[in-house]
Chain A
């Protein structure tokens, strides 16, 4: 047991070192940190006007940024994970060692998840530091930390989907292509489609809310706004309906949905990986 944990940790470390060499991952991390910095800098400019800076609007910008970049980051590194090593032939070499496939899978997942966490902590940490230096910050720092945790949960969900894509494909380029398409679908097409459906079919707000739970980005967004504002009134009638209908249970519903998005594709990815005959 101990040795299997050691194996997983060793593989995770290798995965983290690979992430450090992965130019895409570094680029996304840099972009995330730079944009987070820019948003808090804007808040600093606003501090001179109002006599203080508004954390709420900065947080809203950060939510917007997380929605755009975290799925991109997690889907691409997830999609590369298995397919790239398979293509390079290093995976067969690894599997020839006395290591179980579960250990390989968990090691990879853990390593990439931790890399993702580091990127998020870096971006949010810098942003928070700039806000503090500008004399502002969250009225409740706990809510800010919770925002990072929620962003990480969204990252895990997208990472699992990426792993599933990777386990189903043979070529890294194909996997990344599918990953990018899924990013487009989760971030843009899904929401545009739901908006169109809502308007065209005059959906009642209860159905609209239920439908929006199918998109993990939306789920993250609702949980994050709930975390910061304690209400969803910024989301209009559907948001108010959700808070009124589910009350304290709403956060549990949102977190549960995000967790399902992390667990189900992850387990499916492992099952496919464990049963593949061509490795």
Chain B
């Protein structure tokens, strides 16, 4: 009755050419299993879907809630929403205003554009849902009062695939075991992907760039993180991947590039007899490649490439790492600062790799001294430590079987090359400036006449 009234009210103020279909009336009249094809145009939200229907938009019809509440709320199971531009949610964090709020199982949200929404897609008790191929752009708010681009809450067995989220807060997967997060891109947000208390979640081929944290795993068992790109995640936290109290995480074939910290291990694994396996990853050009609490044990780290990180291994506090494996079956990792040799030509260095630096030891005790990073004085300290072994610090870790050459790693999605033409122009301009000054210098001074 109410929806009919609303439909009638809207019919009194039709946006005739713009709104060829009375969408709310159509929804109210729909039978379970119906498909409603929505022509292009502008439709006023909020929409509430109480019947299992499929909504298909032609040429991205716009559904606009005009800045209050959620744009679409789904109360029925087995609903599909495909091909819409969904915009103009409210901005209330308390009411959790979203583009699409799913409150029933097996919702499919596919190929939509969500803009100017606080939360993008919010699945709350909606197990077995699919969120695929959507773009989500958040409201231009301060980070703390933004909503989450995608949020899965008690929605087990869901699939989140090929979405693009930017300028959002977090992308959250909480209490949603057996979910798959694949091929998504999250940029300029806070936590690219934030997981809490899940089992058997697969996270693969996602691109997390320019966030505060790329992927953060908190509590749970059996996360698989593979072939993701974690690039330029910086800031106060600034982790590519954080592992907090998780058991049996497998971190395989990811690229950790130019983050403040590549992987931060905060007490993982948590349980005895559990492990963390970090294999076949690239750690390149991070300020710190691996940052571990000194108490961390039972980590297997092998077959990785550690290329030119500011610090290859750092400890969060004083101590020495114990009971971790840095090689497996006689194969360790490739370390770009390894200075050993391989007399028997088996591809494995004959002397162990040891992470050992007096200045890095000082940093673990006095983090404020990081202010002097890159200063020649810090090189002098390490040089002195090598020249006078009295000051030689204990090694933080030892890889008994360092690899002589970096193993070839499979490519990951999302790497963009630098603009070569502009760089070439900048370099040539510098050389031209040098040449110009030289010419001025050599040219005889002009004789003044008169």
Contacts and interface: CB of A to CB of B under 8 A. Distances in A.
Contact of A51 (B411, B437, B441): B411
Contacts of B371: 205, 208-209, 212, 218, 235-236, 238-239
Nearest to B336: A46
Interface stretch (B102-110, B147-155, B374-382): B374-382
A178 B440 CA distance: 31
Given A63-B374, A118-B434, A125 B428 contact: yes
A195 B372 contact: yes
Interface stretch (A128-136, A253-261, A271-279): A128-136
B370 A125 contact: no
Instruction: Give the interface centre of B257, B429, B445 by most chain A CB atoms within 10 Å.
Output: B445
Interface string A120-147: 0110111111011001111101101100
Given A205-B368, A234-B370, A118 B437 contact: yes
A68 interface: yes
B6 interface: no
A198 interface: yes
B313 interface: no
A95 interface: no
B236 A141 contact: no
Nearest to B282: A50
Given A46-B336, A234-B310, A236-B371, A121 B431 contact: yes
Contact of A229 (B234, B363, B376, B440): B234
Interface string A210-245: 001000011001000100010101111111100000
A194 B424 CA distance: 40
Given A221-B374, A233-B287, A137 B419 contact: yes
A55 B362 CA distance: 27
A188 interface: yes
B370 A235 contact: yes
B376 A233 contact: no
B345 interface: no
B420 interface: yes
Contact of A13 (B366, B420, B443): B443
B437 A117 contact: yes
A236 B362 CA distance: 13
A211 to B, nearest CB: 10
Interface residues of A, number: 78
- A contact patch SS: helix
A115 interface: yes
B433 A118 contact: yes
Given A56-B285, A218-B375, A125 B380 contact: no
B431 A136 contact: no
Interface in A174-214: 187-188, 190-192, 194-195, 198-199, 203, 205, 208-209, 212
Instruction: Give the interface centre of A20, A50, A122, A142 by most chain B CB atoms within 10 Å.
Output: A50
A-B interface, 7 closest residue pairs, ranked by CB to CB distance from nearest: A236-B370, A128-B427, A137-B423, A54-B285, A16-B441, A125-B430, A191-B377
Interface of B: 234-236, 238, 255, 257-258, 260, 282, 284-285, 287, 305, 307-308, 310, 336, 362-363, 366-381, 406, 411, 415, 417-420, 422-431, 433-434, 437-438, 440-443, 445-446, 448
15 contacts: A46-B336, A54-B308, A64-B379, A117-B437, A118-B434, A124-B427, A126-B427, A136-B418, A142-B426, A144-B426, A194-B372, A217-B375, A234-B287, A234-B310, A236-B373
Given A136-B417, A217-B375, 7 more contacts: A52-B415, A64-B375, A119-B434, A122-B434, A142-B426, A198-B366, A218-B372
